[in-house]
Structure 1
Amino acid sequence: MTLQVLNSPFNEEQVKQLNTLLPTLNDYQKIWLTGYLSVVSTTNVAAAPVVDVAEEVKIITAEPQSATILYGSQTGNAQSLAEKLGKELTEAGVDVTVASMAAFKTNQLKKLTNLFIVTSTHGEGTPPDNAIQFHEFLYSKRAPKLEHVQFSVLALGDSSYEFFCKTGADFDEQLAKLGAQRIVPRVDCDLDYDDLAASWFANVKNALVTTASASVSQTSGVTKEVSSSQYSKKNPFYAEVFENINLNGRGSNKATHHIELSLEGSGLTYAPGDSIGILPENDEQLVGILIEALGFQQAEIVKVDEQDLTLAEALQKKLEITVLSKPLLQKIQSFTVHPDLAELLQDDQKWKDYVYGRDLLDVVQSFGPFSWNAQQFIELLRKIPARLYSIASSQEANEEEAHLTIGKVSYETDGRDRLGVCSGQIAERIEVGQKLPIYIHANPNFKLPKDDDTPIIMIGAGTGIAPFRAFVEERAARGAEGKSWLFFGDQHFVTDFLYQTDWQGWLKEEALTKLTTAFSRDGDEKIYVQHRLQEHAKELYEWIEQGAVIYVCGDKKTMAADVDKTIHAIIAEQGAKTAEQATEYVSNLKQQQRYQRDVY
């Protein structure tokens, strides 16, 4: 902002002084100055007394606004946004506390004035692990009345799931029921959340400034852009693929690819437990068939984010065409009079059954004709989400490399072979020497203990083995002496023992203390990792009592859920505890970050 002399009540020298001062002030200083001038202006200007500034501060300045930002985060997105908001509010003169919901003491709720929630929704509408207890508390009889609290919620989710942003909606509704007042409306974000989050940040800052002063201080409407020299989801690094190996043996019904990427020249750094985001492309052949079914031309020009692209480019490189959701089907319904689609959407079970394993081509072939043009069609679609994969290497041991473990998703529906977008690209279309657009996704909720002497228990199945390869490789490189125990499960010992020689080498070096495997299809009975945990219950409990940190990586609905039940049962049985006491014990482990999960 620059003052001009024309039509200004200030003379030229005053304008020069103001233009020198204003750019140096932060938001809070501008608010203070506004308040100071408003107090002075309430007296006769001509007769205004000389006021000592130090004395006047006592009269017109209130304590800086305070705000508490709580995050519920499984993979780190919500935490990263919460910390970013905290930084921006601090720069605006707000006294900020940022904390995980798991670490926040609920008896402090009654003392808050401004509360901001940033939370993801995990799986089918459940809170992230570190938000479960806080969520339960707010819905309990112990939750206090919060009429004195102003709040707002930023909810992260995935619109392909039925319960999109449910955890955020839960917090928003329950805080209101407890009497808290919304200072800014809740914002629900899909996977491409940057712009909506930036807008919410700006509204939160403006709202706090408004309540801090009778005069509103203008803040920037967007968050600070990441420097172009830093690689991110919006500015990915193109990493060369210098290894792409199928880890499964001949005869396996799986294809699990070990990918090695070069980070040379990128400056990218990561820690064990972090992930790499890959920005994938749709299969060119599938795109061609879809455009033909739509009756459009591949070379037709459409606009995506103010950029002119051919329809083929837009559908291959920018837009999602393989995942169906109810909101998408509802949008499509407005462009067709086909009665079957309307009927399908009226029955919750029917549409869920239909979308499972199907894609946009199925919809176009089944429910036409449609009244849209190419531009209207592509405006119904969301961006292709990045795919996150746990890093399977230690940067301590591989300075300019990152390794990934990616299982190929392939299946058949209605007589047509289908492939996962990213895993299919990796398995069938990416060759050594080609490049992939990537970025590092930090996961602060899945990390090795700082003390190398701390025992660790790692439980993974299939590609859930990836972060544990990074953990053990890191500890081996650091010469850590803490005990480590790996539980690994897959189908067959001969064909599916991922990274077998690595584990054997680390066992020999004593970088890995114990290895327990479960190959579910090698015997008459299916044996999974949770069965092996139960078999070693006594020793497992001893390790936990000795301070071991438990890590679980794998499928949330089945493997991770079964492991969690088994851990509760072992603690109850070996610790002679009731079910309630075992639940409390596990909750304490989570609060102490001694039970961490990377589940999907």
Structure 2
Amino acid sequence: MSRFFRYWLLGSVLLGLLLSACSAPREQCAALACAAWLVLCIPAWQHYRQRQRCPALPSDAIWLAYASQGGQARQLAERSLAQLQAGGCRAVLVSLDRLRPQQLSQARQLLLLASTYGEGEAPDTAQRFAQQLDRQSLSLPGLEYAVLALGDRRYRHFCAFGRRLDQRLQQLGAQPLQACLDLDRGDPAVLRQWQQLLSRLAGHAPFSDWQAPDYQPVQLLQRHCLNPGSSASPAFQLRLQIPPGSHWQAGDILEVGPCHAPAQIDALLRQLGLDGEQVQADGHSLHWHLSRRQLPAPEQLADCRSPADLMALPRLAHRDYSLASLPADGCLELLVRLHQYGDGNLGCASGWLCRHAEVGSLLDVRLRANPGFQLPPDSGPLILIGNGTGLAGLLAHLREREQRGQAGHWLLFGERQAAHDLFYAEQLQAWQRSGHLARLDLAFSRDQDSPMYVQHRLREAADDLRLWLQRGASLLVCGSLQGMGEEIEALLHGLLGDQQVQALRLAGRYRRDLY
């Protein structure tokens, strides 16, 4: 029995006793009883409506909350729910008008899809939630969240409500899973970025793009292994042709459409008794199409007996790679780790880029802006922290600052062995000599008895970190989320305090690109 119902029942009993002791005429007692009963029922009805409006949500599920004016945010939230559930992830869907800010303390992960209405206002269904969130003093350090802000860039208050939610949640101590995404009229590139987040939350589950990909074919110019002899998986530097008319800046992403190994496709076509050279309506061969699609499981092969069946298979999802180069470098430069599973099979995208695609062949790519990892020109000296292939995104920022004549940065980088895994050693050493890098701290986990990671180097330099930040430095972190990214985040909170970390994030001086 709830506390409210106990109080309501006690009030009813007291009312009965009061009326029974009353010496007024029977008709007056009856009228008083009816009026009093109605007064007692009003809060009961309000309590019932509040319970209906604010359903109990499981804390171990991902909460997908939407604020929709015309239905687009709800539609995208439903598609997000379907992708998470298809990846085996527990998730629940709720409209913001059925959610109270106090409930957020019970959630672990929250995904918000929010439209903007009128002059930067919340949609009608979300105004109550927005007002309560602004007024209430909550503490949400245990909440991880992400915001997809829907809007139209032609209007002055573009994505204002979604951005407001993002800023308020950071003020309350919640931890962003990634920078707020501004969706301009259903921009496919932003939707793909949102889908990548959903895939990561579901354990990197495969998915298909909601909108058909619009790749550009570019030539693979060079491929070079950077760490021969290393105990780690091979890491490759790749250089690709720049698509005509392309522009990007430090922090941006190259999306790559992967393909299966040609030998794997040949074997499947032989098994199905189909001619891979058969040309389809768009001019490409059946082999070309099948290599770019999610292959059927063995038990599904009976349903894939014709080219039309194979053409109906979903397209392989793209993979994101941080760009190490700038347009002035004359190529798209990537740093890719070859992933190998326990059974010996290679990762689909890394296997394609590092092993199966021949130098000189065409790759499917598209450039995507990544505002969450970009910096304005006047962002002060940079403190760059990364491990492994995360160095690529940090190199682009160092190259951009070099082009602008801005020197005096600090790089903290971690890998396995100094003898094999110091990627771009000559470039880093040259920057040290020129003063472009004022400081270079390296951590190699396998070069001593006790593992040394980049987060250990940062802890050792805690006083210098505070001093650099006091002088206006910006902090960039790029690399693996699990391990390095999570530990750097916790370490910064411990060294600087929650308030300063949130202040850096809100000022755009703390940015992360983690995978």
Please state which band the TM-score falls in when normalised by the shorter chain.
0.5 to 0.7
Pairing 1:259–2:308 present: no
8 Å CA contact 2:230–2:417 kept in 1: the answer is no
Residue 384 of structure 1 aligns to a residue in which SS? Answer: coil
For 1:442, the equivalent position in structure 2 comes to 369
Pairing 1:493–2:467 present: no
1:508 to partner: Cα distance: 0.6
Q: Do the aligned partners of residues 157 and 387 (structure 1) sit closer, same or farther apart at CA in structure 2, a change above 3 Å counting? A: closer
8 Å CA contact 1:301–1:308 kept in 2: the answer is no
Separation in 2, partners of 1:458, 1:242: 29
8 Å CA contact 1:457–1:548 kept in 2: the answer is yes
Deviations 1:367-401 (A, max 9, x none): 578556446864774211222211112334x2x32
Pairing 1:389–2:450 present: no
Q: Do the aligned partners of residues 588 and 258 (structure 1) sit closer, same or farther apart at CA in structure 2, a change above 3 Å counting? A: same
CA RMSD of aligned residues (A): 3.7
8 Å CA contact 1:157–1:164 kept in 2: the answer is no
What does 1:452-531 correspond to in 2, within 5 Å? 454-481=380-407, 483-531=408-456
Residue 384 of structure 2 aligns to a residue in which SS? Answer: strand
1:235 to partner: Cα distance: 4.6
For 2:218, the equivalent position in structure 1 comes to 239
- Equivalent of 2:177, from 125, 128, 151? 128
For 1:174, the equivalent position in structure 2 comes to none
Separation in 1, partners of 2:240, 2:349: 15
Residue 486 of structure 2 aligns to a residue in which SS? Answer: helix
For 1:419, the equivalent position in structure 2 comes to 346
Q: Do the aligned partners of residues 520 and 455 (structure 1) sit closer, same or farther apart at CA in structure 2, a change above 3 Å counting? A: same
For 1:583, the equivalent position in structure 2 comes to 498
1:412 to partner: Cα distance: 3.6
For 2:290, the equivalent position in structure 1 comes to 315
For 2:466, the equivalent position in structure 1 comes to 541
Residue 565 of structure 1 aligns to a residue in which SS? Answer: helix
For 2:264, the equivalent position in structure 1 comes to 286
Separation in 1, partners of 2:200, 2:337: 25
- Equivalent of 1:97, from 134, 140, 158? 158
Q: Do the aligned partners of residues 164 and 518 (structure 1) sit closer, same or farther apart at CA in structure 2, a change above 3 Å counting? A: closer
Q: How many residues align?
A: 361
Residue 419 of structure 1 aligns to a residue in which SS? Answer: coil
User: Which amino acid letter does the alignment assign opposite residue 469 of structure 2?
Assistant: I
Separation in 2, partners of 1:406, 1:569: 32
1:541 to partner: Cα distance: 1.6
Residue 465 of structure 2 aligns to a residue in which SS? Answer: helix
User: Which amino acid letter does the alignment assign opposite residue 462 of structure 1?
Assistant: G
Given the two structures, how large is their TM-score scaled by the length of structure 2? 0.61
Residue 436 of structure 1 aligns to a residue in which SS? Answer: strand
- Equivalent of 1:428, from 336, 352, 355? 355
Separation in 2, partners of 1:302, 1:313: 9
User: Which amino acid letter does the alignment assign opposite residue 362 of structure 2?
Assistant: K
Separation in 1, partners of 2:508, 2:198: 30
Pairing 1:86–2:103 present: no
Deviations 1:281-325 (A, max 9, x none): 2111122334455x453449798xx85876533321x3123xxxx
Residue 250 of structure 1 aligns to a residue in which SS? Answer: coil
- Give percent identity, aligned residues only: 26
8 Å CA contact 2:406–2:436 kept in 1: the answer is yes
Separation in 2, partners of 1:299, 1:69: 53
Separation in 1, partners of 2:178, 2:200: 20
8 Å CA contact 1:69–1:86 kept in 2: the answer is no
Separation in 1, partners of 2:215, 2:178: 30
Deviations 1:215-238 (A, max 9, x none): xxxxxxxxxxxxxxxxxx5151x3
Separation in 2, partners of 1:522, 1:503: 20
8 Å CA contact 2:238–2:333 kept in 1: the answer is yes
Structure 2 spans left out of the alignment, 5+ residues: 1-116, 124-143, 170-174, 182-190
Separation in 2, partners of 1:510, 1:159: 37
What does 1:188-199 correspond to in 2, within 5 Å? 192-194=209-211
Residue 157 of structure 1 aligns to a residue in which SS? Answer: helix
For 2:247, the equivalent position in structure 1 comes to 269
1:503 to partner: Cα distance: 0.3
User: Which amino acid letter does the alignment assign opposite residue 209 of structure 2?
Assistant: D
Pairing 1:157–2:195 present: yes
8 Å CA contact 1:130–1:590 kept in 2: the answer is no
Separation in 2, partners of 1:296, 1:462: 43
For 2:514, the equivalent position in structure 1 comes to 599
